[in-house]
């Protein structure tokens, strides 16, 4: 059993550096085994509850396929299906689900709901995205960078746009690993104190080079990875016009990509709003590794599930 057995994964700050590397090494084993045609039934007889308060394509499908390929079973619990905080406390739901399941993966509107669920569950709880963090996505992204570049310390990652849950998790994970990460966007949408406190703790330990700036020239210079995310999410539609105007200068288009390092790649967690944060010629062009990135969600999730529940 790994040191991660029975643990929750709510943020990347929950993981030690050794545990992060264990996830990456296990992911590599999972992916190679998959391509050799092997389907080790490491989670035979295990059940994962997947709670969704919001829609999803990648998280929904990849976690279910991961469980299936590992010989286990996943239950899709769609928005509104459980008495989660309605007619029953979150704590009571956590206690009951812990008697049926071996693990929970939850995509919830509020990070505090996830924390409450994890506090009262006696089985591992995995964050499948909240308003604050998306750790499985960030682990997938950094694993994908490792695959493409081989040495995480030798690359510069530049994120353009909004301090989304994905940007927050990338900031936490890259600082925890001592990487070079620049967040570039309008000041109004910079990462909040809750995230920067984690980043500062990590930088003090690892000496990571983390920059937060509005300066596009500075951010794109020598960037090996150019990353962006949606400019607005469910519930922020009423801010769409204001956000479009604020983020337009930070759009990832071919002019921006040409100013990055020669070997630069383009990444996006998806779904993408084409023509907004990224143009078609970038996401469909030679820089783009978004489909490899999306595939890696499956392999990373298999590693996480085996390490937490296997
Ligand atoms: N990147 C991501 O989490 O995608 P979904 O919203 O489709 O799950």
**97-124 pLDDT tens trace:** 999 999 999 999 999 999 999 999 999 9
3-state secondary structure of 75: strand
Cα 61 to ligand 1 centre (Å): 9
Active-site residue flag, 269: yes
31 lines ligand 1 (CB under 6 A): no
Task: Categorize the per-residue pLDDT at 84 as very low, low, confident or very high, splitting at 50, 70 and 90.
Answer: confident
Active-site residue flag, 184: no
Residue of 137, 162, 176, 293 marked catalytic: 137
The stretch 221-235 carries a mean pLDDT of: 95
pTM > 0.95: yes
Active-site residue flag, 229: yes
The CA distance from 189 to 277, in Å, is 14
pLDDT value of residue 82: 87
The stretch 161-181 carries a mean pLDDT of: 98
73-83: buried (b, 16+ CB within 10 Å) or exposed (e) per residue? bbbebeeeebe
The stretch 169-194 carries a mean pLDDT of: 98
pLDDT value of residue 83: 86
294 lines ligand 1 (CB under 6 A): no
233 lines ligand 1 (CB under 6 A): no
Asked if residue 173 has pLDDT above 90, the reply is yes
The stretch 66-82 carries a mean pLDDT of: 94
pLDDT value of residue 2: 87
Please choose, from the candidates 252, 257, 185, 249, the residue with its C-alpha nearest in 3D space to the C-alpha of residue 214: 185
Asked if residue 292 has pLDDT above 90, the reply is yes
Asked if residue 189 has pLDDT above 90, the reply is yes
Q: pLDDT tens digits, residue range 14-40? A: 999 999 999 999 999 999 999 999 999
Asked if residue 85 has pLDDT above 90, the reply is no
CA distances for 72 relative to 1, 31, 125, 238, 307, angstroms = 17, 18, 16, 41, 14
ipTM score for this prediction: 0.99
């Amino acid at each position: 059993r790994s040191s991660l057995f029975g643990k929750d994964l709510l943020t990347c700050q929950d993981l030690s550096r050794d545990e992060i590397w264990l996830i990456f090494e296990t992911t590599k084993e999972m992916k190679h085994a998959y391509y050799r045609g092997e389907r080790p039934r490491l989670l035979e007889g295990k059940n994962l509850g997947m709670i969704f308060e919001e829609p999803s394509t990648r998280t929904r499908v990849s976690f279910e396929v991961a469980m299936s390929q590992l010989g286990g079973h996943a239950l899709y619990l769609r928005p509104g299906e459980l008495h989660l905080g309605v007619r029953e406390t979150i704590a009571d739901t956590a206690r009951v689900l812990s008697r049926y399941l071996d693990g929970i993966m939850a995509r919830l509107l509020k990070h505090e709901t996830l924390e409450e669920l994890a506090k009262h569950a006696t089985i591992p709880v995995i964050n499948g995205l909240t308003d604050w963090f998306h750790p499985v996505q960030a682990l997938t992204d950094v694993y994908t960078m490792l695959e493409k570049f081989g040495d995480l310390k030798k690359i510069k990652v530049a994120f353009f746009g909004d301090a989304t849950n994905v940007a927050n998790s990338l900031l936490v994970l890259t600082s925890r690993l001592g990487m070079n990460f620049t967040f570039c966007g309008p000041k109004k949408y910079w990462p909040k104190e809750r995230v920067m406190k984690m980043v500062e703790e990590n930088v003090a330990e690892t000496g990571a080079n983390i920059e937060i700036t509005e300066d596009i020239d500075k951010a794109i210079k020598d960037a090996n990875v150019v990353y962006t995310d949606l400019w607005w999410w469910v519930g922020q539609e009423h801010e769409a016009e204001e956000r479009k105007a604020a983020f337009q200068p930070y759009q990832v288009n071919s002019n921006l990509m040409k100013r990055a390092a020669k070997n630069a790649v383009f990444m996006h967690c998806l779904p993408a709003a084409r023509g907004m944060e990224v143009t078609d010629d970038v996401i469909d062009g030679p820089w783009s590794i978004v489909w490899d990135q999306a595939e890696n969600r499956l392999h990373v999730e298999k590693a996480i599930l085996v390490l937490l529940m296997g």
